[in-house]
Structure 1
Amino acid sequence: MLKVLIVDDHAVSRTDLKTMLDWENCGFYISGEAYNGIHAIQLIKEDVPDIVITDINMPGMNGLGLIEQLEREYPQVRIVVLSAYDDFDYVRQSMKRGAMDYVLKHRLSASVLLDILKTVESSILVFRNERDKQNEMYHELKIRKDSLRQEFIKKLLEGSVSDRDEMLGQLESLDIAMDTENLLVTAAEIDDFRFIEERFSSKEVDVFIQTLLDISNEILSDWEKSIIIHKGREKFAIIFSLGHIHSRMYVYNQLYTFLNRIRTEIKKYLNITASFGVSSVCNEMSQLHHAYSEAASILKDKFYKGKNGIFIESTSSKHEEGFFCLDIKDEKAIYAALKNQDFETVKSLIDAVFNKISRLRLSSKSTQMICAELINIVNKASKDAGIEMSKLYTAGDIPYNLIQKYEVLMDIKSWILNLYHKFIEILQRMKCRGTYSDIIQKAMEYIQRNYKNDVSLQDVSDIVGVTNSYISRLFKEECRMGFTEYLNHVRVEHAKHYIEHGELKLKEIVSHVGFNNYNYFFKVFKEMTGMTPLEYEQTCRK
Structure 2
Amino acid sequence: MKIILVDDERIALDHIRTLIPWEENGYEIAATATNGRSALRLCEEHRPQIMIVDIRMPVMDGLELIRAVAERGWGVKFIVMSAYEDFNYARQAISLGCVSSYLIKHEVDRDKLILELAKAKLAWEMSEKQRKLSRSEQLKEAFFASGQSTRNGGHIARPPLCALLLQADVPFTTIPAVTTTHDTNGTTGWKEEFKHVEKSANWELIGEFTHGAGRLVALFEQCDKNAPLQRDAFFALASAVQRGLQVRLGHTLSLYFAFECNDIAQLPDLIRKLEDAARHTVFSGRGALACAEDLPLPARMAPVNMNSGRRWLDAAASSLMQEDYGSFESVIKEWFDSLSRPECDLHGLYEAIRALTTLYRERLAAAGLPEADPLEPRTAGPLYHIADIRERLIRAFGELREQGSAAHKQLSPKLLQALRYLHANFQSEIGVEDVSFAIGISVRYLHELFKRELNRTFLDYLTEYRIKQAKLILMHEDAKMAEVSARVGYRSPQHFSQVFKRLTGVLPHQFRAKEQAR
TM tier relative to shorter chain: 0.3 to 0.5
- Structure with more contact order per residue of length (Cα contacts < 8 Å, sep ≥ 6): 2
Going by fraction, where is helix more abundant, 1 or 2?
Answer: 1
TM-score of the two chains, using structure 2 as the length reference: 0.46
TM-score of the two chains, using structure 1 as the length reference: 0.44
